[in-house]
């Protein structure tokens, strides 16, 4: 088993765990963390599959680096929105949708 394949398998596992967390958890902060876990898994899969003959391809690595920067900014925005929701409602769960 090559290191690239090991990275890809661990990345798929992280992505699956994060997806389950996003779908199953109600607490907003835990959902944000699970979404970050999904992103980390996707980045790990991209890095793992980008290696060919034990030489890393620089283009997917640059894409992952850009994705990490975007993920940090999106996490900061999500945390700011979650803080605002907590300040307004006192809760960290999203309100249920009303079906009129």
Domain layout of the chain by residue ranges: 3-89
User: Across the chain, what does the average pLDDT equal?
Assistant: 90
Mean pLDDT over residues 66-85, rounded?
96
- Tell me the per-residue pLDDT of 36-62, one tens digit each, with 9 for 90 and over: 999 999 999 998 888 877 777 888 889
**Under a CB-based contact definition with an 8 Å cutoff, are residues 38 and 19 in contact?**
yes
Instruction: Indicate the CATH number of 3-89 among 1.10.10.10, 1.10.260.40, 1.10.287.3510, 1.10.260.30.
Output: 1.10.287.3510
Q: What is the pLDDT of residue 5?
A: 87
Alpha-carbon separation of residue 57 from 12, 49, 95 (angstroms): 20, 9, 44
Closest CA relative to residue 16, chosen from 34, 4, 33, 1: 34
Q: Can you tell me which residue has the tokens 């907003």?
A: 28
Residues 12-31: pLDDT tens digits?
A: 999 999 999 999 999 999 99
Burial track 67-83 (b if 16+ CB lie within 10 A, e otherwise)? beeebeeeeeebeeebe
């Amino acid at each position: 088993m090559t290191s690239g394949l090991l990275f890809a398998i661990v990345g798929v596992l992280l992505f699956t765990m994060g997806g389950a967390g996003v779908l199953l958890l109600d607490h907003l902060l835990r959902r944000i963390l699970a979404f970050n876990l999904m992103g980390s898994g996707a980045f790990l899969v991209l890095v793992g599959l980008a290696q060919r003959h034990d030489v890393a391809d620089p283009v997917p690595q640059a894409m992952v680096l850009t994705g990490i920067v975007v993920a940090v900014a999106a996490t900061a925005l999500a945390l700011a929105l979650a803080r605002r929701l907590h300040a307004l409602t006192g809760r960290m769960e999203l309100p249920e949708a009303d079906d009129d």
